[in-house]
């Protein structure tokens, strides 16, 4: 492999990375503070656990949730966590996108019936997820 091929490959990789960062920025949750996000995380984790354990949930959403968990646990991120403000954005955006997909597949009532948190927490989750 010569240096030109390597340079083109690295430039393409950098372009794809920049595109993904742009998409993450576009799909980030707006008008929701970090404090509110942190407060709802334990309830969302319980929701994911209930969805994964529920036999009535279709396989597609279960696979998406499993991929989300692997994404969140993985030490490899599109944006390293040590970068202030932007560090956790990729994890939050991927979680929101997966949960939007799950909501489309099982419906808002399907999420609500498995929610064990407060009504205010569920209202915040629906605000974060937005409407399709």
Instruction: Quote the pTM value.
Output: 0.72
Mean predicted confidence (pLDDT) in 35-49:
83
Which token pair is 56?
């009535």
Higher pLDDT, 120 or 85: 120
For residue 132, pLDDT beyond 70: no
Which residue segment(s) compose the domain that 98 sits in?
3-129
DSSP 18-63: HHHHHHHHHTS--S--HHHHHHHHHHHHHHHHHHHH-TTS-HHHHH
Q: Considering its fold, how many domains does the chain have in total?
A: 1
pLDDT score of 31 more than 90 = no
* The pLDDT of residue 67: 93
pLDDT of residue 82: 72
Over residues 66-116, the pLDDT tens digits come to 999 888 888 777 777 776 666 677 777 788 889 999 999 999 999 999 999
Q: What is the CA radius of gyration of the chain?
A: 17
Q: Rounded to whole angstroms, how far apart are CA atoms 22 and 128? A: 19
Question: pLDDT over 90 for what percent of the chain?
Answer: 33
Specify whether the CB–CB gap between 49 and 41 falls below 8 A.
no
DSSP 3-state of 85: coil
């Amino acid at each position: 492999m010569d240096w030109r091929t390597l340079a083109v490959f690295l430039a393409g990789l950098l372009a794809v990375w920049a595109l993904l960062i742009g998409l993450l920025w576009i799909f980030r949750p707006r008008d929701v503070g970090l404090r509110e996000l942190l407060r709802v995380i334990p309830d969302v984790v319980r929701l994911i656990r209930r969805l994964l354990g529920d036999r009535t949930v279709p396989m597609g959403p279960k696979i998406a949730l499993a991929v989300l968990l692997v994404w969140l646990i993985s030490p490899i991120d599109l944006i390293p966590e040590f970068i202030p403000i932007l560090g956790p954005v990729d994890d939050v955006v991927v979680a929101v996108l997966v949960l939007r997909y799950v909501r489309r597949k099982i419906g808002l009532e399907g999420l609500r019936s498995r929610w064990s948190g407060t009504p205010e927490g569920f209202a915040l989750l629906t605000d974060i997820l937005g409407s399709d």
